[in-house]
Amino acid sequence: MEIVTLENELLRQKAEPVKDINSDIQKTVEEMIEALHEGKGVGLAGPQVGLMKRIFVIHIEGDVPRVFINPSIIGTSQETVKFEEGCLSIPGIWADVVRPRAVQVQAWNEKGRRFNMEADGILARIILHEYDHLEGVLFIDRLSVPKRNRVLAKIEKRQKA
């Protein structure tokens, strides 16, 4: 699996629900976890590998890899926090993003089992970041306009170099 970057318009499209969690999906999930490890990231969503399906995987240090298929965000905390984010699809760019501190999510795992999860801290942040990918939204979209323009200028400069 190849991780696609910012100029790829697949990152701007909405992913489709998974209809059947079968052995093909299980294989896809395994490959996504491999790609996540290879990229040394903490989260990876389908569109980032050109797969327009509502799947993302998360693996943070000290935890097991977590699989989210057809996730829905049930609720978010009113309280927000600002924290630095990066993205495997926007290499080398880091910026502070404001997001809810906690999230409640429902999804299916690769075994087809539905689960509910309440997360806060770094896990909540990654869930929200990856969920955005399924909607065609990138973390740079959540920056203030001047900040986003600075980031885009930086990316453009790098592409020219």
Residues designated as active site:
130
Stretch that binds Zn ion, among 63-71, 84-92, 98-106, 151-159 (CB under 5 A): 84-92
Nearest Cα to 28, choosing from 1, 60, 66? 1
Q: How far apart are CA 132 and CA 127, in angstroms?
A: 9
CB-wise, 21 or 133, nearer to Zn ion? 133
In angstroms, give the least distance from the CB of 141 to Zn ion.
11
Gyration radius of the chain's alpha carbons: 15
Do the beta carbons of residue 104 and residue 126 sit within 8 Å? no
| Per-residue mark of binding to Zn ion, 41-80 (x: CB under 5 A) | ----------------------------------------
Which among 60, 37, 47 has a CA at the least distance from the CA of 119? 60
87 in contact with Zn ion (CB under 5 A): yes
Say whether 37 sits in a helix, a strand or coil: helix
Kindly state the number of chain residues that form the binding site for Zn ion, as judged by CB under 5 A.
1
Binding site for Zn ion (CB under 5 A): 87
